[in-house]
Amino acid sequence: MRATVALGVWGLLAAAVACSSSDETKSSGAGATGGGGVTGGSGGADAATGGAATGATGGGAGADAAADGGCFGAAPTCVGVCASTPPTCEGGLWVCNGPGFEPDETTCDGYDNDCDGIVDEGCPTCAVDLTRVQANLYSKYDIDFDAQCNTYLTTVVSGPDHVAVVPANASDPVLTHTGNANQNMGYALVDPNPASRRVIVTYSCCEACNCLAKNGLTLLYECAASDPGCGCAGQSNCPGFLDAPFLASIPEDTSVTANGFPIVSPTGLAAGAGSTYFVGNWRPETCSTDSSCTACDPQHPGVTCSASKPACCDTTALGRLAQFTAPVGSTEPTFRIVSIFPGEEILTVAAWRNGSVLVGTKTQTGGSLHRYLPSSGSAVMLKAFDAPVYSVTERPGVGEAWVELLSGTPKLHRLSAVAEDLPLPLGIPAAPAGNGRLEFAPDGKLYRLVGAVDAESTLEVFTP
């Protein structure tokens, strides 16, 4: 199979496992000693006070730079969730910070939150209840996991679609959360942050399917309608998913079918740092041609649209990657188009450890894997394939991306941090049957779900 590789920017990902400047990166917290808030010597000891990772060379030169209000040497390369934000010079020290930063890794969400180059160190292990997962595969089309190995299975079914939650603890019951009875679900995302553990699902009905409800993004509420402030009070399903999406979109069919079922926008979901999320092929249900419309597009970084700030209408085809927020209390959700891939259709998106996003597409000649970098607002093509990229996922803590193509041999690709093909481990087939959505669970295993509509789906589990 022919494949071309773009090494440049993904290569930075491999280099980002450690600070690349002469300054060392340290975690700060309370009780620091020494000049400038870091311990003396060569700067290898941890500092304390603050809420950011700091870096400075030790000895007299660093102290002189601090006294002058500047930082000694070149700025460090911040890693983890700090990679999305340029380092700043504060009190003579280089400081790395970013959305989702933690002085110590506590959330166990698949990100390097303390920006030390290691993902989820010290986090407890867990195991998926595979027996009960296998018993709940009827008409399931998507799979995801939270940090405790609870499994979330989303349907595409004739009748009310739902998400089945299979707890890792065998003594806890399997829960079923239903969505709008007149809509198809498509993709599901469990927020990796255990503090919120939100579940977001796409309502994705094809253009000719005549669904009575709107396409868009819906949110699971697990509270009871009688609970004060419960966000689903008055909905058909409470607990359950909102009847109407919190952000509505226009139905747009892609040209792709998988396992005999059409892929319909919005497509793919990924979590970003700082309680933001990403979705593919996004076009809002309403837009404005008025001069007062909001231009929340790649040419206007940082500008967001919402119900109170309607987006300017655009005529671009599929290939729009959007970043969005979910509603919190009375705060309305927002979105913005962060990148457009002309002539391509987005089929899958996945989060990467440093807050960037992997985007898999169908192109006119096959497929591509891109990486979108929120820190610069730019996207880079990492690798081109002879077939559309149907699914992509990160192997946490390892720095590998696993890709499944819609067709071809090999269909399953294991990519290094510089987007080079690595050999598949023994026992993992290069061309498995059907079209599978890939997802790594916190137990370190790769789960491949071949979805079916109104039939039993197939789940394969591999140990890399």
Per-residue pLDDT of 278-309, as tens digits, reads 999 999 999 999 999 999 999 999 999 999 99
Q: How many CB atoms lie within 10 A of CB 446?
A: 21
| Beta strands in 184-281, from DSSP E residues, in sequence order | 185-190, 199-203, 215-221, 240-241, 247-249, 253-258, 261-264, 267-271, 277-280
- 95 with 157, same domain: the answer is no
Give the per-residue pLDDT at 53. 59
3-state secondary structure at position 3: coil
- 183 with 306, same domain: the answer is yes
For residue 33, is pLDDT > 60?
Answer: no
- 178 with 322, same domain: the answer is yes
For residue 359, is pLDDT > 90?
Answer: yes
Q: Residue 233 falls within a domain, yes or no?
A: yes
3-state secondary structure at position 130: helix
Q: What's the mean pLDDT when you consider all of the chain?
A: 83
Q: What is the longest distance spanned by two Cα atoms in the chain?
A: 72
For residue 357, is pLDDT > 80?
Answer: yes
Give the per-residue pLDDT at 108. 73
Q: Residue 417 falls within a domain, yes or no?
A: no
| Domain encompassing residue 336 | 130-389
> What mean pLDDT do residues 348-359 have?
89
> What mean pLDDT do residues 330-358 have?
93
- 227 with 270, same domain: the answer is yes
Q: How many structural domains are present in the chain?
A: 2
- 98 with 178, same domain: the answer is no
Per-residue pLDDT of 185-215, as tens digits, reads 989 999 877 667 789 999 998 888 878 789 9
With a pLDDT cut of 70, the percent of the chain lying above it is 84
Domain with 179 in it: what CATH number? 2.120.10
- Parallel, antiparallel, or unpaired for β 389-395 and 25-27? unpaired
Per-residue pLDDT of 314-343, as tens digits, reads 888 899 999 999 998 889 999 999 999 999
First to last CA, the chain: 23
What is the residue-wise DSSP string for 267-289?
Answer: EEEEE-SSS-EEEES--BS--B-
Of the pLDDT bands very low, low, confident and very high (cuts 50, 70, 90), residue 52 is low
Q: Distance (Å, rounded) from C-alpha 451 to C-alpha 436?
A: 7
- 237 with 105, same domain: the answer is no
Give the per-residue pLDDT at 430. 96
Edge-to-edge order in the sheet of strand 4-5: 4-5, 378-385, 367-373, 357-362, 345-351
Distant-in-sequence, close-in-space partners of 276: CB < 8 Å, separation ≥ 6? 99, 323, 324, 325
- 24 with 107, same domain: the answer is yes
Give the per-residue pLDDT at 69. 53
Q: Residue 460 falls within a domain, yes or no?
A: no
Q: Distance (Å, rounded) from C-alpha 403 to C-alpha 242?
A: 32
For residue 229, is pLDDT > 70?
Answer: yes
For residue 452, is pLDDT > 60?
Answer: yes
- 265 with 324, same domain: the answer is yes
For residue 80, is pLDDT > 60?
Answer: yes
Among 389, 408, 430, the domain boundary falls at 389
3-state secondary structure at position 209: coil
Give the per-residue pLDDT at 65. 45
- 145 with 106, same domain: the answer is no
CB of 115 closer than 8 Å to CB of 80 = yes
Give the per-residue pLDDT at 173. 97
- 191 with 99, same domain: the answer is no
Among 389, 423, 447, the domain boundary falls at 389
> What mean pLDDT do residues 429-443 have?
96
Q: How many CB atoms lie within 10 A of CB 335?
A: 22
> What mean pLDDT do residues 252-271 have?
94
Residue with token string 């793919």: 268
Own/partner contacts of 94-97, CB < 8 Å, gap of 24 or more, are 94/21, 94/23, 94/54, 94/55, 94/56, 95/50, 95/52, 95/53, 95/54, 95/55, 96/25, 96/52, 96/53, 96/54, 96/55, 97/51, 97/52, 97/53
Q: Residue 418 falls within a domain, yes or no?
A: no
Q: Distance (Å, rounded) from C-alpha 449 to C-alpha 436?
A: 5
- 137 with 228, same domain: the answer is yes
Among 62, 81, 116, the domain boundary falls at 116
> What mean pLDDT do residues 71-86 have?
85
Q: Residue 432 falls within a domain, yes or no?
A: no
Per-residue pLDDT of 58-75, as tens digits, reads 333 444 444 445 888 889
- 45 with 150, same domain: the answer is no
Q: Distance (Å, rounded) from C-alpha 165 to C-alpha 163?
A: 6
